[in-house]
A and B are shown apart, each in its own frame.
Chain A
Amino acid sequence: MRHVGTVDAPDIELGLTLARQCFSRRSEADEIWLVDDANVRRFHATEVAGLDKSYREIQSYADLGRRRKLIEANIPNTALSEDQSLSSSGPDLKA
Chain B
Amino acid sequence: MSLALDSAPPRDVGEFRDYVQAGGKVEASDWMPDDYRAGVLKFLEMHANSEFMGAMPEREWIPRAPSLKRKLTLTAKVQDEVGHAQILYSLAEDLGKPRRQMLDDLVNGRSKFHNVFHYPVPTWGDVALIGWLVDGAALVTQHALLEASYAPYARALRRICAEESLHLKHGEALTLELSAGSAEQREMFQGALNRWWEALMHFFGPPTDPARDLLIQYRVKTDDNETLRQRFLGRYVPRIWSLGYTLPDSMLRRLDDGSWEYRQPDWERLKEVVTNHGPESQKRLALRRAFWRRHTAVRELLN
Contact = CB atoms under 8 A, between A and B. Distances in A.
Q: What is the interface of chain B mostly: helix, strand, loop, or mixed?
A: helix
A87 B177 contact: yes
Nearest to B185: A87
B173 A93 contact: yes
Interface residues of A, number: 28
B239 interface: yes
B166 A56 contact: yes
A71 interface: yes
Contacts of A20: 3
Contacts of B176: 64, 67-68, 71, 86
A39 interface: no
B165 A55 contact: no
A61 B177 contact: no
A58 B169 contact: yes
A78 B173 CA distance: 17
Contacts of A16: 3
Interface in B101-124: none
A61 to B, nearest CB: 4
Contacts of A78: 179-181, 183, 186, 244
A86 B186 CA distance: 13
A89 B165 contact: no
B253 to A, nearest CB: 20
Interface residues of B, number: 25
A80 B186 CA distance: 13
Interface string B177-219: 1011101001000000000000000000000000000000000
Contact of B169 (A53, A64, A70): A64
A50 interface: no
B3 A89 contact: no
Given A55-B76, A61-B173, A78-B183, 10 more contacts: A16-B3, A53-B76, A55-B69, A57-B166, A58-B165, A67-B180, A68-B239, A71-B243, A75-B243, A89-B177
B73 interface: yes
A89 B180 contact: no
Interface of A: 16, 20, 27, 31-32, 53, 55-58, 61, 64, 67-68, 70-72, 74-76, 78, 80, 85-87, 89-90, 93
Nearest to B168: A61
Given A32-B3, A71-B243, A75-B243, A61 B170 contact: yes
A75 B244 contact: yes
Nearest to B162: A58
A58 B164 CA distance: 11
Contacts of B239: 68
A76 B186 CA distance: 11
Contact of B180 (A56, A76, A80): A80
A86 B73 contact: no
Contacts of B181: 78, 87
B243 A72 contact: yes
- What 6 pairs across the A-B complex have the smallest Cβ distances? A61-B169, A75-B244, A86-B180, A55-B73, A27-B1, A87-B181
B246 to A, nearest CB: 12
A41 B301 CA distance: 27
B173 A76 contact: no
Contacts of A68: 172, 176, 239, 243
